[in-house]
Structure 1
Amino acid sequence: MNIEELRDYCLSIGPVAEETPFGPDTLVFKVGGKIFLLVGLDQIDGLRFNVKCDPEKAVELRERYDQTVLPGYHMNKKHWNTVIANRELNDGALEELILHSYSLIVESLPAKVRQELNGG
């Protein structure tokens, strides 16, 4: 997976906003105004991104894929992982982690916002 494929996948999930609130070097993807993925645009040595994760699942992933899934860099390490692409996980598995993050955020949104996201 490269950064263009990451971007395309994030935008294909649903009503996603793409922003740079932390400056021009960090691309952020949001749903309902809340962040579900951050990625640095200044990466040279490979793609890595931060996604939200269920705390128990985060620990399990970090233990199982210790070269790929790390505690979230500059994030709450209980709830966020930094994922390094093109190592132990294929693109499908990376997409599952992104979708998990998106889903956690959607579930945390107020019912009214979730309804608006679903077109109603």
Structure 2
Amino acid sequence: MDREELRQFVLSNYSAEPDRPWLNHPRFEVFRHNNNQKWFALVMDIPKSKLGLPSADMIDVVNLKCDPILVGSLRGDAGIFPAYHMSKANWITVALDGSVPDEKLKVLLDLSYELTATKMKMKTKQQNPI
């Protein structure tokens, strides 16, 4: 999946519009929940060297929130890296160069969306002290 395919998938499947919060990075797009404004995807173009790759060429990537239990095992997969410029314990960076299968990227995007969604709090019934 490339950058445009990811963008179209997000627009078609989630209630989110792209936001470009940084004037000095016009190609960086944030996708966030409408109700709580939390980010679930940050699409960027960065030098490959920022991911530890031996090149200064630019690469399109997406940062996604991830379950901390999965982060370590996912980083061993091709195209998945420690999060660029975000918490490496809770976020991953995924290359948008076709190295990660589309279905896997969609699952990771769904996970990120769910992890950043507003949580419903359950009301506890007060016990009758008598």
Amino acid at match of 2:42: L
Deviation of the 1:15 alpha carbon: 1.2
1:57 matched residue in structure 2:
70
Q: 1:42 to 1:54 in 2, by over 3 A?
A: closer
Structure exhibiting the larger radius of gyration computed from Cα positions: 2
Q: How many residues align?
A: 107
Residue 115 of structure 1: aligned partner: none
Q: CA RMSD in A?
A: 2.1
Stretches of structure 2 that go unaligned for 5 or more consecutive residues are 48-56, 122-130
- The DSSP-based 3-state class of the residue aligned with 2:75 is helix
Q: What TM-score do you get using the length of structure 1 for normalisation?
A: 0.78
Structure 1 ranges of 4+ moved more than 4 A: 41-45
2:9 alignment partner in structure 1: 9
Quick one: distance in 2 between partners of 1:26 and 1:12?
19
Among 25, 28, 33, which residue is 1:26 paired with? 28
Give 1:1-120 correspondences, 5 Å limit. Answer: 1-23=1-23, 24-31=26-33, 32=35, 33-40=37-44, 45-63=58-76, 65=77, 67-85=78-96, 86-87=98-99, 89-106=100-117, 109-111=118-120
Decide whether the 8 Å contact of 1:17 with 1:30 is kept in 2. Answer: yes
Structure holding more helix per residue: 1
